[in-house]
Amino acid sequence: MGDIESPDRSESRAAGVFSLLMSKELIGSRKGQLLLAEVISSFISFVCFCASSAAVFVTAPLLAFVSALLILFAHAIKFNQRFKGFHWPLMDFLRCITASIVFFIISIMAVSKYPDGSSKAAGVFGFVATIVFALDFYFIFNELADFLKGGGSNEEPQNKRDADSDADSDADSD
């Protein structure tokens, strides 16, 4: 009987693995949903490119899938919060902008140059991946721009702007 696990114990192990991979906090966030959409769309595009005559483009969706999966895993285990050695938003921005440009180019090539249906499907899913990656880099860009405007802090620039506007209004009234 030592070899047989109780159902409660095996369920708790399965729940432990799923809680490690996908927390409700991550999936509920915009970043988690975008990462999940990136993983799914790049994987579908990868599969379609594998089945098509445009298989020469299979490397780009594979790399995008793996990188999105690694970033999703890093967010799931909060590795990005514990390891401050990299500037995570900048790395994520570069990953997203590169993936969206590459997906756009290979999707145009797959749709226009290859006549088979799986190439057309790969191109369509590549365009979907382009949109998802572009949305992600747009939101990252806005966060980076706000960070850079604030000099690393969101409260200090607002107070400084208020003080500057008061000084300007005092100078104008003289």
How does pLDDT run across 40-68, given as a tens digit for each residue? 999 999 999 999 888 889 999 999 999 99
To the nearest whole number, what is the mean pLDDT of the chain?
80
Q: What pLDDT score does 157 carry?
A: 44
pLDDT in tens, 65-103: 999 999 888 888 888 778 777 778 888 899 999 999 999
Residue 92, domain member (yes or no): yes
Q: How many CB atoms lie within 10 A of CB 35?
A: 24
User: What pLDDT is stored for residue 133 in this prediction?
Assistant: 95
Specify the residue for token string 């990136």. 38
Residue 18 forms part of a structural domain: no
Best CA proximity match to 131, nearest among 40, 48, 47 = 40
Question: Is this prediction's pTM over 0.85?
Answer: no
Residue 13 lies in a domain: no
Query: Does 169 map to a domain?
Result: yes
114, 54 contact by CB (below 8 A): yes
Residue 131's domain spans which residues?
A: 27-173
User: Is 21 within the bounds of a domain?
Assistant: no
Q: Does the residue 10 lie in any domain?
A: no
Q: Indicate the number of domains in the chain.
A: 1
- Does any domain span residue 1? no
Report in angstroms the alpha-carbon separations of 104 from 15, 65, 110, 149.
Answer: 38, 15, 10, 31
pLDDT tens across 135-166, in order? 999 999 998 888 788 876 544 444 444 544 45
pLDDT of residue 75: 82
Identify whether 145 is part of a domain.
yes
The predicted structure's pLDDT at residue 54: 85
